[in-house]
Chain A
Amino acid sequence: MVMNFWEAQKQAKSKTALYVAIFTALTLIAAFFCEWAMRLFAVGSYDNPDLPYVGLGFLGLTFGVAGFNYMNYLQSGGSYVAESVGAQAVNPQTRNPKERQLLNIVEEIALATSLPIPPVYILEAKEVNAFAAGTSPDNAAVTVTRGCLDLLNRDELQGVLAHEFGHIYNRDMTLGMRVAAMVMGFFIVTFIGLRLLEGSSFASRRDEDDQDRRGGNPIAVLAVIFLIAGSVTWFFGSILQAMVSREREYLADASSVQYTRNPLGIANALRKIAGSNTSDMPKNGKPFAHLYFNEHESFWSRLFATHPPIEDRIAAIEGGKYDAAPPLSKT
């Protein structure tokens, strides 16, 4: 069977739209909840305000923190990110045959995608991995590990690089940053709730004659509301974040096949990754689009995994059931 990559791309994009819609709905529902709960529980201190201050406060906090974070992310172009994990730029005039081949392959894929040729970096790690960084094709950079150069053949390396170009073309890094920034916003709301709670309980201990205990210290009520709303949105937001990430990985796989017209290249690269145990990527730097991640066995790990399981990816690329052994190939 042949992969219909146009169709696969359409599906991945519409699923992403769905998840983003759910994300937005989640945020709005949480804001409503905050407003409603505040009116219900802070009786006496928060009756019929002119504006839904608490709800707006929740939204303002979330988007404010998200915006601030996002601005920070935007500062770093792809090269900055690559260098910050310790990757080294490849000299465009290199005479090393393997590096020369790497540069050639990057140029080939840039032609296939009609994108500018990004700077290429090598990370000295033995595992097979790669990532693309940058917020637009103009400031993007591509990094591969030494493991890629040592273990993959030309077709497989080409498939991996085409996958990364897919991330660049589809602006996946930008999408990932936006979602991550919103999740950070939710986290901050939770954090503020916690701090407020600590602050208010400290205060109420000193206040002996607190008359309307039932209406409660409005700050404490607000704190609990933010704590609940924040942690719930943070939890579900993180799950949605992972779902979006996985969908974009399928999209990048389909894009890779579109550019190379060679599903076998990337499928075999994934097989090699599946069969290996090496894992020595540097820990710093989460907002990258990695080609792969370890497979996850437990339910919770699956929920938060940024990549789909490798067998599912191979099956999607080859358009059928997963087969551990590669079909007879010409290389």
Chain B
Amino acid sequence: MTTSLIIILVVIAVIVLWGIGIYNRLVQLRNQVNNAWSQIDVQLQRRYDLIPNLVETVKGYMAYEKETLEAVISARNQAQSARHQIEQSGGPTEGSIKDLAAADTAVRGAVTNIMALAENYPQLRASENMKQLQEELSSTENKVAFARQAYNDNVMLYNTAQQEFPTVLFASTFGHHKVELFQVEDQEVKKAPKISFS
């Protein structure tokens, strides 16, 4: 074995090892992104499940606010179907994320309307059920927001890793693509509705 042959073999080995490292890192980052997405999914599901509870709790007191109640139910159903669509297509795409974000914004807006209206019903405000529900809704908002934040942080790490040199040379060959961030259209609605009965 001549020296130059050995050197060539060593160089090849180093490149291969390096390539394996890049491959594994990309796989890890992509799995983190997928996991973060499913977290959002779980939290959205919880939020949509709370809506019927909300409607049940306020229905007795706010019998005359039928339109508002119906609005929140229909917004919720639309968001649910947007969510199912993503589930069935195996993951978020640019279009389906936008649909979901828009539908979710509508749900949040409808819930805010109900909570604002509830301010006019002191008996409702004082009820234990309502107070607990308010905490659960508030916490669910936060959880969706944090899940989205964690997802976006992971997407950023994944996209950045794909774009950096020299990983960029191999990323698409290894089957990796840029992932969309979960962005909210309306900047104002980005903040969770701060409602309190105090």
Contacts and interface: CB of A to CB of B under 8 A. Distances in A.
Given A97-B135, A101-B135, A108 B194 contact: no
Interface residues of B, number: 19
B150 A114 contact: yes
A325 to B, nearest CB: 21
A112 B149 contact: yes
B3 interface: no
Contacts of B135: 97, 100-101, 104
A92 B39 CA distance: 20
Question: Mostly helix, strand, loop or mixed at chain A's interface?
Answer: helix
B149 A108 contact: no
A331 B194 CA distance: 8
Nearest to A162: B146
Nearest to B43: A111
A114 B33 CA distance: 11
Interface string A91-110: 00000010011001101110
A261 interface: yes
Contact of B142 (A97, A100, A108): A108
Interface string A29-65: 0000000000000000000000000000000000000
A159 to B, nearest CB: 13
A101 B138 CA distance: 10
B32 interface: yes
B128 to A, nearest CB: 9
A113 B143 contact: no
Given A97-B135, A101-B135, A330-B194, A113 B150 contact: yes
B173 interface: no
Contact of B36 (A105, A114, A261): A114
B32 A114 contact: yes
Contacts of B120: none
A111 B131 contact: no
A259 B152 CA distance: 12
A105 B139 CA distance: 7
B35 interface: yes
Interface in A242-270: 259, 261
A109 B146 contact: yes
Contacts of A107: 139, 143
B189 to A, nearest CB: 15
A111 B150 contact: yes
A97 B143 contact: no
A113 B39 CA distance: 12
A104 B35 contact: no
A330 B196 CA distance: 12
Contacts of A154: 138
B132 interface: yes
Interface in A1-23: none
A244 B142 CA distance: 33
Interface string B30-45: 0010011001000100
Nearest to A112: B146
Interface string B41-76: 001000000000000000000000000000000000
Contacts of A259: 146
B22 interface: no
B147 interface: yes
A154 B141 CA distance: 14
A101 B131 CA distance: 11
B149 A261 contact: yes
Looking at A97, A100, A105, A114, the one whose CB has the most chain B CB atoms below 10 A away is A114
Contacts of B143: 107-108, 111
B194 A111 contact: no
B131 to A, nearest CB: 7
Nearest to A109: B146
Contacts of A109: 146
A69 B143 CA distance: 40
Given A114-B35, A330-B194, A331-B194, A108 B146 contact: yes
A97 B150 CA distance: 27
A114 B43 CA distance: 13
A128 to B, nearest CB: 21
Given A97-B132, A113-B150, A114-B39, 17 more contacts: A100-B135, A104-B135, A104-B136, A105-B139, A107-B143, A108-B143, A108-B146, A111-B143, A112-B150, A114-B32, A114-B35, A114-B150, A154-B138, A259-B146, A261-B149, A330-B194, A331-B194
16 contacts: A97-B132, A97-B135, A101-B135, A104-B136, A104-B139, A105-B139, A107-B139, A107-B143, A108-B139, A108-B143, A109-B146, A111-B146, A111-B147, A112-B149, A112-B150, A114-B36
Shortest beta-carbon contacts, A-B, top 3? A104-B139, A112-B146, A111-B146
Interface of A: 97, 100-101, 104-105, 107-109, 111-114, 154, 158, 259, 261, 330-331
